[in-house]
Structure 1
Amino acid sequence: MRVLTGPIGDARPLGTVSSEELAVAAGVNSATLRKDLSFLGSYGIRGVGYDVATLVERLSCTLGLTEHRAVALIGLGNLGQALAGYGGFASRGFRIAALIDADPRRVGTTVRGLRVRHIDEFEAVVDECRITIAVLAVPAIAAQRVCDRVVACGVTSILNFAPAVVSVPPHVDVRKVDLAAELQILSFHESRKAALAGARR
């Protein structure tokens, strides 16, 4: 990022970034990047670049990150506890507002300053905490049942870490995070690199 001086008489620094710098960071070519940003109504200045503050604001608005969204994390096993402690959510405008579990040994305990509530209280939790997104970190066998309950309580955005595919109505958005599948993809790339290295010998 370059820092340029502002207009004459204006001593404020002006943070800018060029389309080439953004393109390298995004892994695309600069022409594609400029075209994509133009759809946001964000136009850079030729020879100067994009004003960073303005660009961040417009991207945040487009992605819906200007609103702080309350998230319910369901399932406080090893993965759920790790997600509960992840600091990256807050920096992106997401707040873990409720922790939910069905295990009597976990219900009532405190994790990261939040009391773990029972899944039977989920409808009340949605109203009290104004939950807009649910994160599922439950065992595969419970995933569909928990998902159905989440949808019945009016939550229409779900991030699914459970190792199972869940079925939802058309108005509900689900994003699945499959860690094993991601490792398989990396394994494929490792095998391909090894094969290429062997072919060069």
Structure 2
Amino acid sequence: MSSSTGPRRRHPPSVYWRRRAVALLVLLLLVGGIVWGVSALLGRDAGAAPPSSGEGTPEAQEQPTEAPTTPAPTPEPTTGGVAACDAGTVEARVALEPAALAVGSGTTFQVTVRNAGQGPCLLDAGPRALVATVVSGADQVWTSAQCAGDATNELLLDAGAEAPVSLAWDGRRSAEGCPADQPFAGAGTYRVGLTLGGQPVGGEPVVFTIG
């Protein structure tokens, strides 16, 4: 019994090559589509995820503004860690012997300074800082500041300690720059008082006479 079907027809080789090329192209398209889809999905998820910290954002890159600081107060002049004496804690008294002077004669005011503060301090007792002033009524006759130059006399005083200071007066009137041709103070009653840094110290002025 013979078969009714004849031998299978063979296609030319070019047909098989075309089919293989089409299959390979379809496979590449499928793989490329899958890769693109996964990449798009990952990119969308990454863009939607909130940042875990503020790094990289304009707000995070802004530096915090520092609060303005108040300048520190200027410390008082010190030497070896000891503060300058305050006029409010310095006591001074003047002694004048004799209390009556002759016209044309000078004298030296003997001053005793005392640190009435609670701790040691440095006192400039030079004639420009610790100033003696002689007046007659409302007339300023002489002041040690006008003839002091740059002289200083620094004293280190413990709490409660005293020190002697001498302020010389030649008996003449004084003027700014200390001219040498000033006249002598005439006969009359005078008072000598003390200031430290422009503040009165030593209580009431001491009265003396010239005659």
TM-score (norm 1): 0.22
Q: Which structure has greater strand proportion?
A: 2
Q: Which has the higher contact order (CA 8 A, sep 6+)?
A: 2
Q: Which structure has greater helix proportion?
A: 1
